[in-house]
Every structure is written in C-alpha cells, then in structure tokens.
C-alpha cells in the first residue's frame, strides 16, 4: 500500500489544509467559490477553473466553443462534457460545430 506525503499548508485567508501535490489551490477557498446555481455549479473545481481561466462564464460563451476545444483546456475532462451539453440543451443552445 502506498502512502502519500501530505503537507500542512495555510492559504492567504488562513485556511489550514493538507495537500500532497504542488497545486497551490486551497480546497476550502474553492468550496466557498463554488456557485450555488448555474452550469458552473455542476462541474468539479478543476473543470470550473478551466472554463473561467479561458473566459467562459456564460452558456452563450460556452456555445461559441466546440466540444474538442473545451476538452483542450487544462483541467477539463471528458466527464464534464455531458453536463455541459445538458445545460446548453436546456437553454436551447449547443456546442459550436467543428
């Protein structure tokens, strides 16, 4: 059995958390940032950040992208695409064709 060496860290807001990776993201801050509603609330934190970091915060902005373009974003995985597709379809939108 492998064990991970988690290090105690403190974010700028003073939250204490353990992480084994080099990722500087505080999980407590990320949970506080998670939207309560809307399509971004359906996604994991890495997928949500991937869209936000690429300027996609509305369904209309999302509809201007193809599925393949979205999958190229760092942090976006294939399991997010069905959630995004459903959110778009519920609003009469769809991904841009290739």
Query: 10-residue block means of pLDDT along the chain (98 residues)?
Result: 77 87 80 83 92 96 97 94 97 94
pLDDT of residue 61: 98
pLDDT of residue 83: 97
User: Residue 19 domain-assigned?
Assistant: yes
Q: How far is CA 88 from the centre of its chain?
A: 16
What length does the chain have?
98
Residues 73 and 32 in one domain: no
Quote the number of domains for the chain.
2
Residues 79 and 54 in one domain: yes
pLDDT of residue 29: 80
Residues 52 and 72 in one domain: yes
pTM above 0.85, yes or no: no
From CA 33, how far away is CA 27, in angstroms rounded?
10
Residues 50 and 93 in one domain: yes
User: Residue 24 domain-assigned?
Assistant: yes
Q: What DSSP assignment string belongs to 15-53?
A: -EEEESSS----HHHHHHHS-SSSGGGGS-HHHHHHHHH
User: Residue 1 domain-assigned?
Assistant: no
pLDDT of residue 5: 85
């Amino acid at each position: 059995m492998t064990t991970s060496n988690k290090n105690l860290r403190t974010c700028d807001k003073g939250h204490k958390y353990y992480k084994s990776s080099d990722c500087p993201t505080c999980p407590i801050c990320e949970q506080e940032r998670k939207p309560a509603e809307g399509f971004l609330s359906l996604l994991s934190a890495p997928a949500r950040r991937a869209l936000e970091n690429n300027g996609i915060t509305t369904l209309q902005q999302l509809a201007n992208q193809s599925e393949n373009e979205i999958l190229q974003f760092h942090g976006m995985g294939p399991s997010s695409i069905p959630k995004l597709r459903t959110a778009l379809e519920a609003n009469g939108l769809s991904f841009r064709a290739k």
